[in-house]
Structure 1
Amino acid sequence: MLDGEIRTSTRAALPPDAPGAHTKRLGLIAVIATFGGLLFGYDTGVINGALAPMKEDLGLTAFTEGFVVSILIFGAAFGALVGGRLADAYGRRHNILMLAGVFTVGTLGCVVAPNWEVLALFRFVLGLAVGGASATVPVYLAEVSPAERRGSLVTRNEVMIVSGQFAAFVINALIFNIWGEHDDVWRYMLVVAVLPAFALFFGMLRMPESPRWLISKGREAEALEVLRQIRSPERAEAEMAEVHALAEEEKQAQTGGWADLSVPWIRRLLLIGIGLGVFQQFTGINSIMYYGSQLLEDAGFSAKAAIIANTANGLFSVLGITVGILIMNKIDRRTMLLGGFALTTSFHILVGLSATLLPDSTAKPYIILLFVICFVFSMQGTIGPLVWLLLAEIFPLKIRSFAMGLCVFMLWIANAGVAFGFPPVVSALGIAPTFYIFAGLGVAALLFIHTMVPETRGRSLEQFEDEFRAEHA
């Protein structure tokens, strides 16, 4: 990964980071910062159970329903672009503090919204915060972590995102089953997000700035002071040289731009990156994360049973990404991607066949739920984390920041397209044809991976770059 690649000579000279009080301090920093990931997950997942009562209270149509859901994702696409630049200009910690405020304003605006137009406006504001968090929190974690623990600490943010979605599903189920008869029950679900936003803001007030960012701004004394908080004394002194090296690499990483796309092999890599991001979203995973309760109602569950059953999607999402993180360095990337898309495509077909062929009975919704859960687990255990890993691995250093930003932007746009299109497509065609469409896109993804996506496992970033350039120059 970008932040995990360090010059071998620099790394070899570093003393081991022995455990001590600084280890607890670093652990606390990771917990506080990943509240940004928790908010990301909660705010994208809470709409799942809130949508049915919201639809009734505000009179949403299939079109306005898709608009209200997807506008957050469009906001996130732009928030990711702007958030990275603000973090570079003003600091990672400063940006996270600001995002906590935006999360709070967006949440409260949604809670008091008198109509769907105002709700959509504040959902867009929330999207800016979600996108900003997706661009800032992993960078902050990477830059405060020692190289030996960088991977494990950064992936905590991914776990917190799916945990936030799971928490949203559980809280929605509890609130709906207690206060479901209230027209405003959806507002109770949304307002819960204020609590982690407060925790993020007040927690980050006591957290340090990234030493790498401080070095890039010439604030070396402050950077050393931060390193002494989160490293052993010997390691803090030695690591200043490493932070200098990383800051230089960052400068080089920010020099790439549109002109580099004239180089054929770089252009091919960018197309691969965009394809991976778009096909990840075209699995339809976020149609389940955003509309799972409604899908289960359409499958035959009652409203209360659907919102409870939907918590299984959140649980198996967490379990899936946990398994994926454990195995993704033990299996070739291409093999894991092909296997993942083969599984998700198969479960799409099984959901469609179940909806089409099974007679209406008490068993039918449970069978559809089973196949949906299997899809979620397969997706989050393979394609979900692996696409993010590949995006971090395939681009040369000079173009990495630019290319990652463009690929993530396209990923968010594809996410928004699925979120916007899912309700009207299901309304017009039904469950089965919708999942057959996802299956067709899965077949296209398998062809794309087989013909385009290179293997990166077992190669350094420099080795991969040299081999890919030689093959496609």
Structure 2
Amino acid sequence: MPDGKSSHKSFLKLIIIFSTFGGLLFGYDTGVINGALPFMTKELDLTPFTEGLVTSSLLLGAALGAVLGGRLSDHQGRRKNIIYLAVLFIITTLGCTFAPSVSVMVIFRFLLGFAVGGASVTVPTYLAEISPAERRGQMVSRNELMIVTGQLLAFTFNAVIGNIMAESAHAWRYMLAVATAPAIFLFLGMLKMPESPRWLLSKGNKESALQVLRRIRERDRAQKELKEIEKAIAEESALNKAKVKDLAVPWVRRIVFLGIGIAVVQQMTGINSIMYYGTEILREAGFGTEAALIGNIANGVISVLAVMTGIKLLGKFGRRPLLLIGLTGTTTTLFLIGVFSLALDASAALPYIILSLTVIFLAFFQGAIGPVTWLILSEIFPLRLRGIGMGVSVFCLWMVNFLVGLTFPVMMSSIGLSNSFFFFAVVGVGAIAFVKKYLPETKGLSLEQLEKIFRRHGDQEEAPKGYGRQVV
């Protein structure tokens, strides 16, 4: 391959396109259940509990897949791990598509979750390690964009299939089957992609690492970057990584619990009650199934647009104020959903009001809370804490996601639409209070500066302006 700038950029674009199909599958497989449930309920005779079980089994698998995915990619390589995940996506998608019963569906959804969770950690790692430093943020954020694009595609295919096959009990099987196409594309594409040069060098394969770097960098830069990676790996190997016993140290425990808190805050906004059960919510508000499926497309479109906007806002505003704005917006919207669903029960206007409010909710979440959460989690942990801190925080995020997915249909069935959203609104108020009291601003500070702030959290004189005792 020619050693010009254009060839390097073209090859990097191919890497982004093929690898982020893992993110697309993440989005599609979590979003498709939204439209499949009404049809699946008829054929598999689902109750509110088994609806929650079918939905949330994927999330439980994703929690475990996220934990194991990082370890497996460290052991066998980022590229190879993504290829194996693509095979798992194909097999489990087909298993879900042809599931004859609830129990078989739950088993395959759980295994599909392993692929989703594995992709959620392996793809961003692969992109971060293969991208040039000046384009790292842009390349890694493409995966987040592909996740919401996958959800938009799921909502769109749900609407098309649901309206064309409205009378068919098997419509949901076609909705699920669509995911095999991007999974095959991911598998075939990654066969042609290179391994992460950083991983190759960590395994002592210097020659292969240099060959990869020469395919994605200019020749002089490839050699220079090889030396930089070697130096970084040497420094990390000499670093004492944090262990579970280190949680006995107050400042270590404080920062890990802050990471857990931020992860829980993101999920307790109720975001996935809308992403997983949006069709059911709109049907409860008064839409027919076909109209609710079409209405959900608006949720997918605003999610994509909001993520694109949020990525731009991250570079202009502080993390803390943007997160507070997002939480204030989502909490207010949740409260209004509860008020209108109570006050306008059985009104012809209610479905349209609820749809408008869910779109506004998603604009606040996807434009602020979603991207800020992942950025904060990547920034607050010093290098020696990053492994345990990110691992525990992301695991807790997926587990809360699982609990919301499991219990929301039961909540709607037992206490109704309005009270369910009042509950999330109350939790939102608590989330705002948590962020205001405990979260420091991380923008513009190095990991070393942040570590010093957490170590001396009570020292008002040394802490930079705006921190002080809010870091506790």
Q: What TM-score does the superposition give when structure 1 sets the normalisation length? A: 0.95
Contact 1:38/1:164 (<8 A) preserved: yes
- Which letter maps to 2:141? T
User: Which residue in the other structure is 2:112 paired with?
Assistant: 126
Q: 1:155 aligns with which of 119, 134, 141?
A: 141
Could you tell me how far 1:339 is from its partner in structure 2?
Answer: 1.1
Q: 2:444 aligns with which of 458, 462, 470?
A: 458
Give distance in 1, aligned partners of 2:27 and 2:240.
Answer: 29
Residues 374 and 87 (structure 1 numbering): CA distance in 2 closer, same or farther, change over 3 Å? same
Contact 1:33/1:204 (<8 A) preserved: yes
User: Which residue in the other structure is 1:164 paired with?
Assistant: 150
Q: What TM-score does the superposition give when structure 2 sets the normalisation length? A: 0.95
Question: What are the superposed Cα offsets for residues 301-331 of structure 1, whole Å, 9 maximum, x if unpaired?
Answer: 0110000001111111111111111101211
Residues 165 and 350 (structure 1 numbering): CA distance in 2 closer, same or farther, change over 3 Å? same
User: Which residue in the other structure is 1:6 paired with?
Assistant: none
Is 1:307 aligned with 2:293?
Answer: yes
**1:360 counterpart SS class:** coil
- Which letter maps to 1:468? F
Q: 1:39 aligns with which of 18, 25, 34?
A: 25
User: Which residue in the other structure is 1:391 paired with?
Assistant: 377
User: Which residue in the other structure is 2:256 paired with?
Assistant: 270
Could you tell me how far 1:20 is from its partner in structure 2?
Answer: 2.2
- Which letter maps to 1:117? S
Give distance in 2, aligned partners of 1:54 and 1:285.
Answer: 22
Contact 1:254/1:401 (<8 A) preserved: no
Q: 2:331 aligns with which of 339, 345, 354?
A: 345
Is 1:467 aligned with 2:453?
Answer: yes
Could you tell me how far 1:18 is from its partner in structure 2?
Answer: 7.9
Give distance in 2, aligned partners of 1:96 and 1:295.
Answer: 35
Could you tell me how far 1:253 is from its partner in structure 2?
Answer: 6.7
Give distance in 1, aligned partners of 2:401 and 2:40.
Answer: 22
User: Which residue in the other structure is 2:398 paired with?
Assistant: 412
User: Which residue in the other structure is 1:377 paired with?
Assistant: 363
Is 1:259 aligned with 2:245?
Answer: yes
Contact 1:254/1:399 (<8 A) preserved: no
Contact 1:333/1:457 (<8 A) preserved: yes
Is 1:115 aligned with 2:101?
Answer: yes
- Which letter maps to 2:269? T
Residues 173 and 221 (structure 1 numbering): CA distance in 2 closer, same or farther, change over 3 Å? same
User: Which residue in the other structure is 1:100 paired with?
Assistant: 86
Give distance in 2, aligned partners of 1:411 and 1:263.
Answer: 23
- Which letter maps to 1:19? K
User: Which residue in the other structure is 2:214 paired with?
Assistant: 228
**1:20 counterpart SS class:** helix
Contact 1:253/1:400 (<8 A) preserved: no
Could you tell me how far 1:120 is from its partner in structure 2?
Answer: 0.4
Is 1:328 aligned with 2:314?
Answer: yes
Could you tell me how far 1:249 is from its partner in structure 2?
Answer: 4.9
Could you tell me how far 1:287 is from its partner in structure 2?
Answer: 0.9
Could you tell me how far 1:251 is from its partner in structure 2?
Answer: 3.7
**2:280 counterpart SS class:** helix
User: Which residue in the other structure is 2:426 paired with?
Assistant: 440
Give distance in 2, aligned partners of 1:395 and 1:448.
Answer: 18
> How well do the aligned residues superpose, as a CA RMSD in angstroms?
1.3
User: Which residue in the other structure is 1:287 paired with?
Assistant: 273
Give distance in 2, aligned partners of 1:329 and 1:442.
Answer: 25
Could you tell me how far 1:333 is from its partner in structure 2?
Answer: 1.4
**1:430 counterpart SS class:** helix
Give distance in 2, aligned partners of 1:306 and 1:378.
Answer: 22
Could you tell me how far 1:298 is from its partner in structure 2?
Answer: 0.3
Q: What are the residue-to-residue correspondences of 1:165-204 with 2, within 5 Å?
A: 165-204=151-190
Give distance in 1, aligned partners of 2:240 and 2:298.
Answer: 42
Give distance in 1, aligned partners of 2:270 and 2:286.
Answer: 20
Give distance in 2, aligned partners of 1:100 and 1:337.
Answer: 34
Contact 1:212/1:246 (<8 A) preserved: no
**2:401 counterpart SS class:** helix
Q: Which stretches in structure 2 are left out of the alignment for 5+ residues?
A: 460-472
Could you tell me how far 1:361 is from its partner in structure 2?
Answer: 2.8
Q: Which stretches in structure 1 are left out of the alignment for 5+ residues?
A: 1-16
The percent identity for this pair of structures is: 53
**1:417 counterpart SS class:** helix
User: Which residue in the other structure is 1:74 paired with?
Assistant: 60
Aligned residues: 457
Stretch deviating more after TM superposition (145-154 or 250-259): 250-259
